[in-house]
Amino acid sequence: MWDFSTDPEYQAKLDWAARFVREEVEPIDLLFPGFAEPYDREGEAYRELVLPLQARVREQGLWAAHLPPSLGGMGMGQVGLALLNEILGRSQWAPMVFGTQAPDSGNAEILAHHGTEEQRHEFLEPLLGGRIVSTYAMTEPTGGADPGGFTCRAVRDGDGWVIDGEKWFASNYPHAAFVIAMVITDPEVPVHRGSSMFIIPAGTPGMEMVRGTGLAGEPVGEGVHGYLRFTGCRVPAENLLGEPGTGFAIAQQRLGGGRLHHAMRSAGLCRRALEMMIERIASRTTRGGPLADQQAVRQSLADAWIKLEQFRLQVLHAAWQVDRAKETGDRDHARAARLHISAVKAATPGTLIDVVYKAMHLHGALGVSNELPLARMWQAGPTLGIADGPTEAHKDVVAKLLLRDAVPAQDRLFGSEHIPTRQIAARQKFAGLLKEMP
């Protein structure tokens, strides 16, 4: 059955979350706008403001909704998460307040699925409790987002592994209690069989931050994305996450959910920009009349709304595909989910760039100033075009999956929809009937 309604009980929780984010969380964005501040567990903002808000989220049963109840979450499906993440996407601090911030949410999932009992006790439990934050280190300065170019290696040495190499854009490293890093453990085989995941606690000798890298607008040399170097960095064998050679598979499992969640939150960010656009049109006058009387302005607003609604439905449909694949365990359903996740990932940056730009442009000089959040919101578009794999790579995945079962036309010159050829077949099919017709 097709149904676009939300269960009333869950809708009540969504309504509470929407009010809570607007009234209690968005003000924190204004007071503490730094990219690093939500992840600083020693910061006053976290201790005095966030901890009490997290307690209220727990009371509502909305804490870490992406995790199963056995780990303190709600065990919510992806469609339910999409509806919640739309709300959280409005605010920089909201994911932290609700226990769903990246990269911790993805790290928690792979620890839950692939970690040993000891690893879950030492790293997962404090992460879920909000007492620490973590880092995920995958990309490299030379390899970028292409795992086939990775050179950071781990070599078995006695009762441990020794890691050498570099990692790039390791988010939140300055505040992380541990790093999960994907490194090459067998360079003689393809990366999807020769990479492994390791848990590396902060302060491990041989792991250093060359420098912090920020996003545009942050001072050079500062930022929460670490450029890491490993030099003879030894970790015990029990810090291997999963089995040797499974790093690529674990990474894909982790990144798939993250890509979808980024899209969910992007829909919320676009919704906020659209609301600002509507408010601006309703408030301003130009050339002696309301801005709303300008046809070009109305056209721009309509285009933004249509694009957002199309994207939102695409995200929800992709979430449904993931839920169905998990429920059935069917390989074809899993492949369809992968197709839709990559398509959503490819659509996310363009939607953000287009919708937020329209709102920013409509606000004139104010829109690009530091007195409105629009320019910073717009920056999320190009950033997400690179994060979790570049857009081009995901378009390629979509195309390959679509072509995987493609059947060439019998008539390779004109194709199966060639009208003259089909007319001949139609005449043959209905030859008896056509003879009887006048």
Check if the beta carbon of residue 200 is closer than 8 Å to that of residue 233. Answer: yes
Phi-psi region of 227 (alpha: psi -120 to 50; beta: other; left: phi over 0): beta
One-letter identity of residue 284: R
Residue 425, domain member (yes or no): yes
Q: What does DSSP assign to residue 348?
A: H
pLDDT of residue 21: 97
Return the sign of the alpha-carbon dihedral for residues 358, 359, 360, 366: positive
Alpha-carbon Rg for the chain, nearest whole angstrom, is 25
Domain of 417, in residue numbers: 407-438
Question: Is residue 124 assigned to a domain?
Answer: no
- In terms of domains, do 154 and 97 share one? no
> Do 223 and 336 share a structural domain?
no
- What stretch of H or E contains 229? strand 225-236
Write the pLDDT tens digit of every residue in 256-285: 778 899 999 999 999 999 999 999 999 999
State whether 167 and 271 are in the same domain: no
Same-domain pairing of 205 and 260: no
- Return the residue matching tokens 């992709």: 318
Query: In terms of domains, do 80 and 102 share one?
Result: yes
Residues 6+ apart with CB under 8 A from 290: 282, 284
CATH of the domain at 264: 1.20.140.10
> Within the chain, which residues score under 70 in pLDDT?
1, 438
User: Are 297 and 281 spatial neighbours (Cβ–Cβ below 8 Å)?
Assistant: yes
List the structure tokens of 315. 């995200």
Predicted local confidence at residue 412, as pLDDT: 92
Interior angle at CA 169, CA 125 and CA 106, nearest 5: 30
Q: What would the two tokens of residue 363 be? A: 């606000």
Q: Which helix (H) or strand (E) holds 132?
A: none
User: 76 and 64, same structural domain?
Assistant: yes
DSSP states of 144-190 as a string? BT-GGG---EEEEETTEEEEEEEEEEEETGGG-SEEEEEEES-TTS-
- Please report whether residue 125 resides in a domain: no
Tokens matching residue 316: 């929800």
Residues 177 and 280 in one domain: no
Q: From CA 268, how far away is CA 265, in angstroms rounded?
A: 5
Residues 204 and 259 grouped into a single domain: no
* Separation of alpha carbons 265 and 269, rounded Å: 6
Q: How far apart are CA 58 and CA 128, in angstroms?
A: 12
Q: Is there a single domain that holds both residue 90 and residue 22? A: yes
Question: Is residue 65 a part of any domain in this protein?
Answer: yes
CB–CB of 89/326 below 8 Å?
no
Quick check: is 99 in a domain?
Answer: yes
What pLDDT is recorded for position 321? 95
Of residues 12, 126, 109, the one with CA closest to residue 61:
12
**CB-based contact 263:78 (threshold 8 Å):** no
Location of structure tokens 């988010």: 171
Q: Before 103, cis peptide (omega within 30)?
A: yes
Q: Determine the angle formed by the axes of helices 295-328 and 78-88, rounding to 10 degrees.
A: 140
Task: Tell me which residue of 91, 95, 41, 37 sits closest to 65, measured CA to CA.
Answer: 95
Is this structure's pTM higher than 0.85?
A: yes
- The residue out of 115, 143, 162 marking a domain boundary is 115
Helix ranges (H only) for 3-102 are 8-20, 26-31, 44-45, 51-59, 78-88, 94-97
| Res 269: pLDDT | 96
Residue 1 included in any domain: no
Same domain, 65 and 145: no
Q: What are phi and psi of 4, to 5 degrees?
A: -100, 15
DSSP 21: I
Looking at residue 140, the DSSP 8-state letter turns out to be B
8 Å CB contact between 374 and 273: yes
276 and 313: one domain? yes
Buried b (16+ CB within 10 A) or exposed e, 312-322: bebbbebbbbb
Asked whether residue 129 is assigned to any structural domain, the reply reads no
Among all chains, which residue has been given the structure tokens 């169905």?
324
Burial class (CB in 10 A: 0-12, 13-18, 19+), 207: buried
Q: Provide the CATH number for the domain around residue 87.
A: 1.10.540.10
Do 42 and 50 meet the contact criterion of CB atoms below 8 Å apart?
Answer: no
> Does any domain span residue 126?
no
Instruction: Say how far apart CA 199 and CA 134 lie, in whole Å.
Output: 10
Q: How far apart are CA 147 and CA 276, in angstroms?
A: 40
- Give ∠ CA 172-379-226 in degrees, rounded to 5: 20
Q: How far apart are CA 228 and CA 211, in angstroms?
A: 8
Distance between CA atoms of 203 and 197, rounded to whole angstroms?
Answer: 18
Domain count, the chain: 4
Q: Do 421 and 375 fall within a single domain?
A: no
